[in-house]
Chains A and B, each alone.
Chain A
Amino acid sequence: MSRVTFQSLILKLQNFWAERGCVVETPLDLEVGAGTMHPATFLRVLGPEPWNVAYVQPSRRPADGRYGDNPFRLGKHYQFQVILKPSPLEVQDLYLDSLRAIGLDLSKHDIRFEEDNWESPTLGAWGVGWQILLDGMEITQFTYFQQAGGIDLAPVSAEITYGLERLTMFLAKESSVYDIDWTSGVGYGAARKQDEYEFSKYYFETADVDLHWKLFDAYEGEARRCLEAKLVLPAYDWTLKCSHVFNTLDARGAVSVTERVGVIKRVRDLAVRCAEGYLAAREELGFPLLQEGQGPRAEG
């Protein structure tokens, strides 16, 4: 296997899942903390319509920033997110095949599924599943979604989230994320180190706290207006903006222990209303992807 690059990994995974009937989406053009928050996951897992999707998602977690100094922790990392709905019985084998597709001879490695259940209080979502360990290193989170936006899911979706930097570091045998190649000739460090430094400085030291609280209120208000107007998708965008503002305030140290609970609840309430609104809207449309010939087809 020639030297693995960040970019080649993304291309291989995209191809693999495209061949298996996934819609290859683009990353969400808003600040989010995880691929799960993209409407292609959060909203699409609701209701009875089938759905298979795969996409890269830059995931911003302000509190995880380390100014570009820490070799494994980043304020923004890239996830490769896959949703398979309904979750196929052979989903674990599919996943292992995806690892083979990126060049791993699994018989020469240790691969294990260790219990790890996921939940997101902000999204009113939770599931059961595993962290997948490759030779002791966690490279993927696998979750059978049980609930989103407070709504029980039927059918259950399988979510597979790869940690792209981790995987690349491991395959390229690099001990610092900045030493991996984004592509041949362009290192990850060259691409992103300055980004990490400036955003860490911003989120920890510079962000205007008063402004962010005002923004939170404003975004929340606008989300509510959209929900009143039955515009669920714009409402969800505003909800995500609220969530990112909260993450910024949190990194900045501006949210006390008691305030925290209240703020999370406000975001959760919006997320729940968006979920309910989305489901109602789909129902009104007659759940289009259930129709014959519509909806992505997963090939086994």
Chain B
Amino acid sequence: MSEYFFELLTEEIPASMHWAAVDKLRTQLEELAHTLGAEDPARSVDVDTTSRRIHFVMKRLPLRKPDSEQEVKGPPKKSAYGTDGAPTPALHGFLKKQNATIDDVIDSSDEYIRIRRMVKGRDISELLQERVPAIIEGIRWPKMMRVGKGEYAYIRPVHSVISLFDEQHLPIRIFGIDSGTATVGHRTLGPKKVAVTSYLDYRQQLELAHVIIESERRAHVMAQRALVLSKEVGGVPTEDASIVAQWKYLTEYPGLVRAEFRREYLALPEEVLVTVMRVHQKQLPIRSSDGRLTNFFLAVLDNAGDPEGHAAYGNSFVTNARFADAQFFYETDRRRKLEERLEQLSHLQFQEKLGHYLDKTQRIERIAAEICRAAGVDATDVAVAARLCKTDLVTEMVKEFTDLQGRVGGIYAREEGLPDNVWQAVYDHYQPVSLDDALPRNVTGAVVSLADRIDTLTGFFAIGAKPTGSKDPFGLRRAAQGVVQILLNRDRREIRIGIDKLIDIATTDANVKADLLAFFAERVRTILEASAWQFAYDEIAAAMEAGWASSLTDLVDRIHAVKAIRDESNFLSVLDSAKRIANITAGHTSTRVDAAKLEHATEKRLAALTDVVTAQIDEMISERQYRQALESFAGMAPELETFFKDVMVMVDDEAVRTNRMSLLRRVGGAVMKIADVTKIVVDRRDYRP
């Protein structure tokens, strides 16, 4: 079994780009391994990176592709043999071109000459030479750069390539650079040139040259070191998977250093300290066993250790400098109350056509008050939180650390002694920022968040700035998603309000409303499809057809009902009934049945049953017992079948025809309030007894 090893040496690739690139590369290489005939492509391929290298190995490859039988079509038989039965020049030419002989000609059923012969399997190494450069050169990085005179574009300039097939150099070219069998060691700790013969040799030699090629090993070493360094000062490293994930791609040789900042800065709000360390410096705070921050933290090194203390010094230096700034901002900010900052908001533009942030605040206040009225929520704390929620935008702290917006306002409100409901609402009102993010922790926060979001959405839609395709520069999808997430969670319990009502509160423009509803429908679909309930897309569509904008929790209940009955054995008859009704009554809307016009005994029975069942269904709907309602409807299926068998709907007598259609419409209409079951996609085989 053969092995192919490859390394591409470039320059430091942005840490955030490694994971996706490796993932994609792995997929392509596994496909290649499969094409080459590897028995188990997934276990055959190993791809990884360091900060500036991409390397992979393909193990257990066959030496060549298996020989195969090939059939090739030749000239028509009548031009292949002469009248004397001898082969013609045409046939000879064909055979020569195909490297075949007359013995390879087989009996064929049509009028063409056909030959069959064994084709020797191609050498795997040849195939690798053909395919590897295209795969590597084809990697699409999020931000490419042109190199040199524009000979090529890539993430960074390519320095060298290693290409080894079974310990032999397999010449390839990447962007015009010839491969070889040598690379370099660590930038400052290793030798300039390292010659290698195989993947194993590469791994060992590079380790000696101070490069750990496996990213997980680097991560592991750093995680271990983090524990040790933290323990030395009686603490533990903060849990932060994303920082550690970045660290492993910032290094070739994994190291960590512990540094400290001046104790006095612990008086600053924790959010500020943590944001500065994580976001700006990629440092990991050390916490004491009770979870509180200490003045120690961990920083990554691309070196084994810090014997002369330079890294400890340097990291302390920069962190202290940033905290000094933060302290300056904090002290400056605290000289004014948040309330006093409202006037300043009139100098901060929100959007050219939508005014400044004081305008926005006033809109948020009004909308929030209306939401409280409509949903029966106490408005006292909401009013204060809505008023102050944007004031932190004109604080020095938020001007410097923009990702702390909301949180800084909440912290300052807390320090001013405002009630928990209020400061927590301000703190949380930008949440959720993603599908996994937490929701505002109290109703006040939820209302303010809804008000802020719906104001932004109606505003931007009104000025014609709705998202298109992949462009959503104002984050409107996220804004709408947050509304849906909040209402799914809160709606039932504390804020009973529909998205339609929310839009009405924010705007009277019918066009904006229509556009926004369509926009929201998409978000609702997306979120429900991704949710833990595991709703299928057709279940969601069926229930949404019966309405969604007046209550999302009601929608969820109805989808649950649809989901439950679709697996029942009688579902097919329910579906078929609904479909037939829909087809026959298409375009007919009346449900007025004139009892006098009922002729047939069957239709009279159906009419009577309909009265009973629709009443039942209506009552169940008012109790939100949707599953039972659908089952009630299911109970009518046999009677409906009889009806369709015995009674002809499309009779000439218009009055009778209309009457029968109205009756059917009444039947179908009962359940349309829950879901349009005709939208459920079935495989009939699933229902066979």
Residue contact B315 to A135, C-beta cutoff 8 Å:
yes
Whole-angstrom distance between the alpha carbons of A128 and B144 in the complex? Answer: 8
Closest residue on chain B to residue A90 by CB atoms: B159
Q: Mark A134-172, 1 if CB is under 8 A from B, else 0.
A: 111110000010100000111110000000000000100
Whole-angstrom distance between the alpha carbons of A280 and B141 in the complex? Answer: 34
Complex partner residue of B189 from A107, A153, A170, CB under 8 angstroms: A107
Q: Mark A75-117, 1 if CB is under 8 A from B, else 0.
A: 0000000000011010010001000000000111111111101
Q: Is A182 close to B, CB under 8 A? A: no
Q: Is A175 close to B, CB under 8 A? A: yes
Closest residue on chain B to residue A253 by CB atoms: B347
Q: Which of B257, B311, B320 has the most CB of A within 10 A?
A: B311
Q: Is A236 close to B, CB under 8 A? A: no
Interface residues of B in 148-194 (CB under 8 A from A): 148-150, 157, 159, 187-189
Q: Mark B311-326, 1 if CB is under 8 A from A, else 0.
A: 1011101101100100
A91 → chain B closest CB, angstroms? 9
Complex partner residue of B299 from A111, A134, A136, CB under 8 angstroms: A136
Residues in A whose Cβ lies below 8 Å from that of B149: 48, 86, 154-156
Complex partner residue of B188 from A71, A72, A106, CB under 8 angstroms: A106
Closest residue on chain B to residue A134 by CB atoms: B314
Q: Is B143 close to A, CB under 8 A? A: yes
Closest residue on chain A to residue B158 by CB atoms: A89
Residues in A whose Cβ lies below 8 Å from that of B324: 71
Q: Is B434 close to A, CB under 8 A? A: no
Q: Mark B293-334, 1 if CB is under 8 A from A, else 0.
A: 000000111110011101101110110110010000000000
Residue contact A136 to B315, C-beta cutoff 8 Å:
yes
Residues in B whose Cβ lies below 8 Å from that of A115: 12, 14-16
Complex partner residue of A136 from B188, B189, B311, CB under 8 angstroms: B311
A-B contact pairs, 22 of them (CB 8 A): A71-B324, A86-B148, A87-B148, A106-B188, A108-B308, A110-B302, A112-B12, A112-B51, A112-B302, A115-B12, A128-B145, A136-B299, A136-B314, A136-B317, A137-B314, A137-B318, A155-B149, A156-B146, A156-B149, A170-B314, A256-B349, A258-B352
A176 → chain B closest CB, angstroms? 10
Q: Is B69 close to A, CB under 8 A? A: no
Closest residue on chain A to residue B350 by CB atoms: A257
Complex partner residue of A108 from B148, B157, B310, CB under 8 angstroms: B310
With known contacts A111-B302, A137-B317, A257–B348 Cβ distance under 8 A: yes
Residue contact A109 to B303, C-beta cutoff 8 Å:
yes
Other A-B pairs, 7, CB within 8 Å; known A137-B318, A144-B147: A110-B301, A112-B12, A115-B16, A130-B12, A135-B315, A136-B311, A137-B314
Whole-angstrom distance between the alpha carbons of A136 and B321 in the complex? Answer: 12
Whole-angstrom distance between the alpha carbons of A156 and B314 in the complex? Answer: 32
Task: State the main secondary structure of chain A at its contact with B.
Answer: mixed
Residue contact B349 to A110, C-beta cutoff 8 Å:
no
Ranked nearest first, the 8 interchain pairs of A and B with the lowest CB-CB distance are A135-B314, A136-B315, A115-B14, A106-B188, A113-B12, A110-B301, A136-B314, A135-B311
Residue contact B143 to A110, C-beta cutoff 8 Å:
no
Residue contact A175 to B317, C-beta cutoff 8 Å:
yes
Q: Is A173 close to B, CB under 8 A? A: yes
Closest residue on chain A to residue B308 by CB atoms: A108
Whole-angstrom distance between the alpha carbons of A154 and B318 in the complex? Answer: 37
Residue contact B146 to A258, C-beta cutoff 8 Å:
no
Residues in A whose Cβ lies below 8 Å from that of B189: 107
Closest residue on chain A to residue B159 by CB atoms: A89
Whole-angstrom distance between the alpha carbons of A171 and B281 in the complex? Answer: 20
Whole-angstrom distance between the alpha carbons of A154 and B149 in the complex? Answer: 5
Q: Is B255 close to A, CB under 8 A? A: yes
Whole-angstrom distance between the alpha carbons of A250 and B348 in the complex? Answer: 15
Residue contact A135 to B310, C-beta cutoff 8 Å:
yes
Residue contact A146 to B146, C-beta cutoff 8 Å:
yes
Q: Is B250 close to A, CB under 8 A? A: yes
B309 → chain A closest CB, angstroms? 9
With known contacts A137-B314, A175-B317, A114–B12 Cβ distance under 8 A: yes
Q: Is B509 close to A, CB under 8 A? A: no
Residues in A whose Cβ lies below 8 Å from that of B159: 89
Closest residue on chain A to residue B246 by CB atoms: A114
Residues in A whose Cβ lies below 8 Å from that of B16: 115
B631 → chain A closest CB, angstroms? 59
Residues in B whose Cβ lies below 8 Å from that of A71: 321, 324
A266 → chain B closest CB, angstroms? 18
A60 → chain B closest CB, angstroms? 21
Complex partner residue of A170 from B11, B143, B145, B317, CB under 8 angstroms: B317
Interface residues of B in 401-418 (CB under 8 A from A): none
Closest residue on chain B to residue A73 by CB atoms: B325
Interface residues of A in 234-284 (CB under 8 A from B): 256-258
Interface residues of B in 379-413 (CB under 8 A from A): none
A257 → chain B closest CB, angstroms? 4
Closest residue on chain B to residue A111 by CB atoms: B188
Residues in A whose Cβ lies below 8 Å from that of B315: 135-137
Residues in A whose Cβ lies below 8 Å from that of B148: 86-87, 155-156
Whole-angstrom distance between the alpha carbons of A42 and B347 in the complex? Answer: 35
Interface residues of A in 108-134 (CB under 8 A from B): 108-115, 117, 127-128, 130, 134
Whole-angstrom distance between the alpha carbons of A256 and B255 in the complex? Answer: 47
Q: Mark B249-287, 1 if CB is under 8 A from A, else 0.
A: 011000101010000000000000000000001000000
With known contacts A112-B250, A113-B12, A257-B349, A156–B321 Cβ distance under 8 A: no
Residues in A whose Cβ lies below 8 Å from that of B307: 108
Whole-angstrom distance between the alpha carbons of A117 and B14 in the complex? Answer: 10
A214 → chain B closest CB, angstroms? 24
With known contacts A108-B308, A113-B11, A156–B145 Cβ distance under 8 A: yes
Q: Mark B120-160, 1 if CB is under 8 A from A, else 0.
A: 00000000000000000000000101111110000001010
Closest residue on chain B to residue A69 by CB atoms: B328
B141 → chain A closest CB, angstroms? 10
Whole-angstrom distance between the alpha carbons of A155 and B245 in the complex? Answer: 35
Whole-angstrom distance between the alpha carbons of A153 and B16 in the complex? Answer: 26
Residues in B whose Cβ lies below 8 Å from that of A89: 157, 159
Residue contact A135 to B302, C-beta cutoff 8 Å:
no
Q: Which of A71, A92, A117 has the most CB of B within 10 A?
A: A92
B28 → chain A closest CB, angstroms? 24
Closest residue on chain A to residue B321 by CB atoms: A72
Residues in B whose Cβ lies below 8 Å from that of A135: 310-311, 313-315
Whole-angstrom distance between the alpha carbons of A113 and B187 in the complex? Answer: 11
Whole-angstrom distance between the alpha carbons of A12 and B462 in the complex? Answer: 61
Residues in A whose Cβ lies below 8 Å from that of B348: 257
Residue contact A92 to B188, C-beta cutoff 8 Å:
no
Residue contact B250 to A107, C-beta cutoff 8 Å:
no
A84 → chain B closest CB, angstroms? 12
A111 → chain B closest CB, angstroms? 6
B482 → chain A closest CB, angstroms? 26
Q: Which of B12, B308, B324, B349 has the most CB of A within 10 A?
A: B12
Closest residue on chain A to residue B145 by CB atoms: A128
Residues in A whose Cβ lies below 8 Å from that of B143: 117, 128
Residue contact A111 to B314, C-beta cutoff 8 Å:
no
Residues in A whose Cβ lies below 8 Å from that of B150: 152, 154-156
Whole-angstrom distance between the alpha carbons of A112 and B251 in the complex? Answer: 8
Q: Mark A183-222, 1 if CB is under 8 A from B, else 0.
A: 0000000000000000000000000000000000000000
Residue contact A110 to B311, C-beta cutoff 8 Å:
yes
Closest residue on chain B to residue A158 by CB atoms: B157
Whole-angstrom distance between the alpha carbons of A138 and B147 in the complex? Answer: 25
With known contacts A114-B250, A146-B145, A154-B146, A109–B311 Cβ distance under 8 A: yes
Whole-angstrom distance between the alpha carbons of A108 and B146 in the complex? Answer: 34
With known contacts A108-B310, A112-B302, A152–B14 Cβ distance under 8 A: no
Whole-angstrom distance between the alpha carbons of A48 and B317 in the complex? Answer: 42
Whole-angstrom distance between the alpha carbons of A268 and B678 in the complex? Answer: 60
Closest residue on chain B to residue A169 by CB atoms: B317
Complex partner residue of B147 from A108, A109, A110, A156, CB under 8 angstroms: A156
Closest residue on chain B to residue A175 by CB atoms: B317
Whole-angstrom distance between the alpha carbons of A170 and B315 in the complex? Answer: 11
